[in-house]
Structure 1
Amino acid sequence: MKSTSTVLPTSAGAGAPLIRLTGIRKSFLSEELETRALDDVHLEIRSGEFLAVSGPSGCGKSSLLSILGLLDSPSAGSYELNGQQVAQLDNRARAQLRNRQIGFVFQAFNLISDLSVEDNVALPLSYRPELGRAERRDRVAEVLALVDMAHRARHYPAQLSGGQQQRVAIARALVGRPSLILADEPTGNLDSRNAELVMDLLQTVHRDGATLCMVTHDPRYAAMAQRTVALFDGRVVADLPTAALQPQRQPAEAL
């Protein structure tokens, strides 16, 4: 697999805080009932970090990822991305920031069925008027080569396996050279072999400089991250280096 050093942005001061959430709350109202999806969440994600977010269904993982991805706004609290306060931005400004700073990888791939692989990957660049046709074409070719899908550039999603579709989705996430990649259960719709291939790819992308935040139910894949944040009932109940959350083996002489 090729290096992503020319695909991802070079971050000044690697390891600096990329994201800072302070007192984030998210509530939903239905009739007279208030459901609090997130409750006083404080979280930092540093540039170049691989973070896993885990927890049971309904604990707030999807709400957290939607706020991180600027797809939703918190009910209270502040969100700082690359030093910019973003929680109160209007829809247009949020869309522009999302397009330039964030890449998404979804469980369901979310490829457009009547677009070819290369056109699916190029889609985020269609909102970048400053990029000429040649540069867009070069960027698409670069990321398709990275995920080993250049030979499928003219195919359509229905002609691909699930694993291939997810690799195309990763290429689409990378093509805009975002500061942050959000992966929402990226292996959830894949068999074990393709899941391993996708995780190998995400690990390579991270090693080459990506900041990666991944929601997963699978402890095997959470264990690949550098750090794990565990949610329960909308609150952060653990925020530790992943190694600290792994069961410790007893010394051989104690067995």
Structure 2
Amino acid sequence: MNSSLPLIKLQGIQKSFLTDELETRALDGVDLQIHSGEFLAVSGPSGCGKSSLLAILGLLDSPSAGSYALAGQSVEALDNRARALLRNRQIGFVFQAFNLISDLTVEDNVALPLSYRSEMSRAERRARVAEVLAQVDMGHRARHYPAQLSGGQQQRVAIARALVGKPSLILADEPTGNLDSRNADLVMQLLADVHAGGATLCMVTHDPRYAAAAQRTISLFDGRVVADMPTLGPTLTPMPTPAQPLAARQTAEQL
């Protein structure tokens, strides 16, 4: 699915922080290209710059130096309002801690990114929310609240929220970090299915097995890309679907 023009192009990205009159360089000359439809994993030890890189990719932070183009548009000089608009239209986020709003229902949490899109009618928003909740097999939990869900179910809702605006890029920051191994496997399979449907996915992970499920892995060390290589590709078992036997569906239902 690669095209000649990358979806993301970073050149010479640096990110520095000043603490107690000392400069800490979180990113040190990162060059990176991600093409539409790729599944990229980002790995490396704690403190290597993974979170700083994801924050810059997600327009949550700005680099200290270097250039960033998203879908051909230079973004580092955009003001806060323009960055927020671009982020809402182009980027979906999946966080380790789920980041669902506790006093909103599942469907209202998923609908949040669409609340900034005045061109969509209420009926269109509701239809889109129902579509993505069905995609992650959480339509039957639409009226529930986050506290009524398991950790795996909350992460599935978070993935639906990331998908609802049809972004060109999905950023996942340790999406399995708060889950047990069985639920983590199911969430990873869901992300692999999302990618197979055409999404561009960039995922930070400490788990080498989940990194191997991506098409390509970059490794960071001391703020630099020290390796960039293809991986084996998806290796996980497909998620159960409503057409499968009840026992298989019940296994997924516990997620």
Q: TM-score, normalised by structure 1?
A: 0.90
Q: 1: CA distance between counterparts of 2:151 and 2:107? A: 17
Q: What pairs up with 1:1-255 in 2 under 5 angstroms? A: 14=3, 16-243=5-232
More RCO (CA 8 Å, sep 6+): 1
Q: Percent identity?
A: 82
State the match for 1:3 in structure 2.
none
Q: 1: CA distance between counterparts of 2:189 and 2:215? A: 15
Q: 2: CA distance between counterparts of 1:130 and 1:56? A: 43
Q: 2: CA distance between counterparts of 1:44 and 1:135? A: 34
Mind listing any 5+ residue stretches in structure 1 that lack a counterpart? Answer: 1-10, 245-255
Q: 1: CA distance between counterparts of 2:116 and 2:3? A: 28
Q: 2: CA distance between counterparts of 1:29 and 1:192? A: 38
Tell me if structure 2 keeps the 8 A contact 1:100–1:176. yes
Segments of 4+ moved more than 3 angstroms: 13-16
Mind listing any 5+ residue stretches in structure 2 that lack a counterpart? Answer: 234-255
Cα deviations across residues 192-232 of structure 1 (Å, max 9, x unaligned)? Answer: 11101100100000001000000000001000000000000
Q: 1: CA distance between counterparts of 2:231 and 2:58? A: 23
Tell me if structure 1 keeps the 8 A contact 2:213–2:232. no
Q: Aligned partner of 1:159: which letter?
A: Q
Cα deviations across residues 231-250 of structure 1 (Å, max 9, x unaligned)? Answer: 00000000111249xxxxxx
Q: How big is the shift at 1:31?
A: 2.7
Tell me if structure 1 keeps the 8 A contact 2:8–2:34. yes
Q: How big is the shift at 1:16?
A: 4.1
Q: 1: CA distance between counterparts of 2:114 and 2:107? A: 11
Tell me if structure 2 keeps the 8 A contact 1:53–1:228. yes
Q: 1: CA distance between counterparts of 2:117 and 2:60? A: 19
Q: How big is the shift at 1:88?
A: 1.0
Cα distance change, pair 38–72 in 1 and its aligned pair in 2 (3 A) = same
RMSD: 1.3
Q: 2: CA distance between counterparts of 1:152 and 1:112? A: 15
Q: 1: CA distance between counterparts of 2:187 and 2:116? A: 27
Q: 1: CA distance between counterparts of 2:4 and 2:227? A: 21
Cα distance change, pair 110–188 in 1 and its aligned pair in 2 (3 A) = same
Tell me if structure 2 keeps the 8 A contact 1:15–1:49. no
Tell me if structure 2 keeps the 8 A contact 1:144–1:171. yes
Cα deviations across residues 34-57 of structure 1 (Å, max 9, x unaligned)? Answer: 000000000000000000000000
Q: 1: CA distance between counterparts of 2:24 and 2:232? A: 33
**Number of residues paired by the alignment?**
233
Q: 1: CA distance between counterparts of 2:191 and 2:3? A: 19
Q: TM-score, normalised by structure 2?
A: 0.90
Q: Aligned partner of 1:55: which letter?
A: G
Q: Aligned partner of 2:97: which letter?
A: A
